[in-house]
Structure 1
Amino acid sequence: MNRVILFDGECNFCDQSVQFIIKRDPIGYYKFASLQSDIGKKLLKQYNAPEDMDSFFLIDHNKCYFKSSAALQVCKNLKGLWKIPYFLLIIPRPIRDFFYEIIAKNRYKWFGKKDSCLLPSPEIRNRFL
């Protein structure tokens, strides 16, 4: 379990982001777990993730990334031109996180919310914890 993406399983934007990553990660670098799942809660606690965050985390080789850093770190292993945003890490984190937080705070209003997590298709079920 080297790379795990933790996401808000009730958020339509987060769900679409996971589907986006899966399509561009044919090798399967990433595994996924919702923040609402038992494994998601356990990993957040294990890595001392900030308790006031509830959208997207990346655990990569025993290091926890969050906010814009998590999203940009994920890009590093995607196929094609999606690797390019990784270089935005050169922008100071407070600036990157400012824009990330605007999306995170408005994601339910802009993209909607589900009552529960969707079950993954049989083809990708093994990528979910």
Structure 2
Amino acid sequence: MTRPALYAYRRDAAVPAFDDALPIIIFDGKCVLCSHFAAFVLDHDNHGRFRLLAAQTPLGEAIYRHFGLQFGNFDTYVLLEDGGVRVKSDAALRIFTRLSFPWSLLAAGYAMPRPWRDAFYDFVARNRVRWFGVRETCFVPSAADAGRFVQ
């Protein structure tokens, strides 16, 4: 994926306007592993640094399409931060970096070359549904966490 200009999605008529003041994690809301990761972020993001968005929402779909990602094949987290986008291992490591200790220690993964990190990420992504399954409906946050989701 080529690096688009910062905040380019704001100028894309196909992407509805949304609040992007905080980093947003876009995840597969039907994947059990991805939904558990979203719940993990909610539990361990003690400073409320992240907001979440299921890829299966109209906004999630528009963002996927804007960045040239194949909608329906949610094989990566998408992290929107400061107008930029991160995917695959870069997204995962950046998320862990911003979580509280001890999870922030996983940033040590940046020491591994990106092709190796992404190969491992892709291996898990290809097998996640087989290993962990899918939900019948998208992940729905608790009432207490609803404000952490992009509407």
The TM-score normalised by the length of structure 2 is 0.79
Distance 1:6 1:112 in 2: 19
1:98 pairs with one of 113, 116, 119: 119
- Identity value in percent: 29
- Determine the C-alpha separation between the residues in 2 that align with 1:43 and 1:87: 29
In structure 1, how many angstroms separate the alpha carbons of the residues matched to 2:143 and 2:109? 35
Corresponding residue for residue 70 of structure 2: 51
Q: Deviations over 1:20-68 (max 9, x none)?
A: 111110211100111110111122234x143275131111111111111
1:26 pairs with 2:42 = no
Q: Structure 1 residues 125 and 113 mapped into 2: Cα distance closer, same or farther (>3 Å)?
A: same
Structure 2 CA distance, aligned partners of 1:58 and 1:100? 15
When residues 49 and 65 of structure 1 are mapped into structure 2, their CA distance, relative to the original with a 3 A threshold, is: farther
Amino acid at match of 1:104: A
Q: Is residue 79 of structure 1 aligned with residue 100 of structure 2?
A: yes
Aligned CA-pair RMSD: 1.4
TM-score by length of 1: 0.92
Q: CA deviation at 1:77?
A: 1.1
Matched, 1:116 2:137: yes
Alpha carbons 1:49, 1:64 under 8 Å: kept = no
Matched residue pairs, number? 128
Q: How far is 1:109 from its partner?
A: 0.6
Partner Cα distance (1:28, 1:8) in 2: 20
Aligned 8 A contact 1:57 1:65 in 2: yes
Q: Gaps spanning 5+ residues in structure 2: where? A: 1-19
* 5+ residue gaps, structure 1: none
* Residues 31 and 49 of structure 1: CA distance in aligned 2, closer, same or farther (over 3 Å): farther
Residues 1:89 and 2:103 aligned together: no
Letter in 2 for 1:84: L
CA–CA separation in structure 1 for the residues paired with 2:52 and 2:143: 14
Distance across 2 between alignment mates of 1:71 and 1:118:
19
Amino acid at match of 2:70: E
